[in-house]
Amino acid sequence: MIERTNDLAACHKIRREVFIIEQSVSEAEELDGLDGGALHLLARDADGQPVGTARILLKNDIGKIGRVAVLRAARGTGLGAALIRAALEELRQQPGITRAQLGAQTHAIAFYEKLGFQAYGPEYDDAGIPHRDMARVL
């Protein structure tokens, strides 16, 4: 089950595990001060345990999906794609939002392309990990 949440502690716990511990992103980069003004999604497994999260920032007509993280035990289940679809649905419900954007780790570009995103612009470094920007119309 994926729902919009105010449980930032659960979201941060997942993000800490995936980004800070597994991917060696610094805590200062991961906890960037933008969570308070964002929408958050939380995925729970059949037992109700938090296993995935995503963050949505709204600006003008764009919804930026980020901090998409799935715990190792829940990977390969389709949960990542379900989180993106849930984020897109959340964006469709926001007045005036017409496009979704995200910064994709380059190894995940094909994953996002299957969900309708197209890469644009040059590759760049974000927290020591190569990324490209991607977008799609809602």
Tens digit of each residue's pLDDT (9 = 90 or more) over 51-88: 999 999 999 999 999 999 999 999 999 999 999 999 99
121: containing domain: 2-137
Rounded to 5°, the CA angle 124-126-127 comes to 145
User: Which CATH number characterizes residue 47's domain?
Assistant: 3.40.630.30
Number of domains in the chain: 1
pLDDT at res. 35: 97
> Is the distance from CB of 126 to CB of 103 less than 8 angstroms?
yes
